[in-house]
Chains A and B, each alone.
Chain A
Amino acid sequence: DAGVIQSPRHEVTEMGQEVTLRCKPISGHNSLFWYRQTMMRGLELLIYFNNNVPIDDSGMPEDRFSAKMPNASFSTLKIQPSEPRDSAVYFCASSLRAHSNQPQHFGDGTRLSIL
C-alpha cells in the first residue's frame, strides 16, 4: 500500500519567495495533518483537516502560512513570503479518523531551507 506521499523532498529557495509543499494522504484516510519539526521546538502541529475541512489551524505561525485541501487526496501548505526562520522539515500525516484511537502515518517530509 502506498503511504503518505510528500513533494518535494528537498526545497532550497531565497527568502521572499513563495514555497508550496504538497501531500497525498493514504487512500481512505479522512484526516490530514501538517507538522513542522526543528531541533529547538520538536514536532509542532500546524493545521489539521477532517474530511477536507480545516479543523484547527491554531498552530499556523502567521498569515504567511496557508493550507488547503481541495479534495480527499491532495493538500498543500504554502508559505508566502518565505523567511529564513521557516527553515525546517515539514511533515504531512494522515489517519483514519472516522473512529478514535487511530494513529497517524507520516510521509517522508520536505526539508525546507530558506536562504
Chain B
Amino acid sequence: QKEVEQNSGPLSVPEGAIASLNCTYSDRGSQSFFWYRQYSGKSPELIMSIYSNGDKEDGRFTAQLNKASQYVSLLIRDSQPSDSATYLCAVENTGNQFYFGTGTSLTVIP
C-alpha cells in the first residue's frame, strides 16, 4: 500500500465550477498535510497546509482533513483556467518522513 494515494485524473471542470481533489494516506499518526500545485514544466509550489481536523480556507482554496478516515481534500471554488495544473498531496508521517502522491491533473475548461 502506498503511503499517499491520489486519483491521477485527469479531472475536467468548467470555469466557475468547484474542483474537488482527494487524497488518502496510510499512516494514521500523520500530523501534517500539504497541497502543492505544479504547472507543466515547473516545480511544485505550496498552496495549502493543514494540521487539524476540519476545514481551512484561503481565498478560493479550502483544505479539508478527516484524520479518522485518513482523508484530505482540496476544494477550488470558482475554478479558473489558470488553476489548470497537477495537484500533489503531501503527508508528513509519524517518522517525520514526507511522502507525495502521484498527483491529480486538473483542467479547467473556459
Contact = CB atoms under 8 A, between A and B. Distances in A.
A71 interface: no
Contacts of B88: 43
A103 B100 CA distance: 12
A108 interface: yes
Interface string B27-59: 000011010000000111110010100000000
B25 to A, nearest CB: 15
Chain B interface size range: 20 to 34
Interface in B77-105: 88, 90, 92, 96-103
A104 B43 CA distance: 12
Contacts of B34: 103-104
A100 to B, nearest CB: 6
Given A42-B103, A43-B44, A43-B88, A104 B98 contact: yes
Chain A interface size range: 10 to 19
Contacts of B100: 42-43, 45
A68 interface: no
A34 interface: no
A103 B43 CA distance: 14
Nearest to B6: A42
Nearest to B88: A43
Nearest to A105: B46
Contacts of B46: 103-105
B108 to A, nearest CB: 22
A109 interface: yes
Interface of B: 31-32, 34, 42-46, 49, 51, 88, 90, 92, 96-103
CB-CB nearest 4 A-B residue pairs: A42-B102, A106-B43, A101-B32, A43-B100
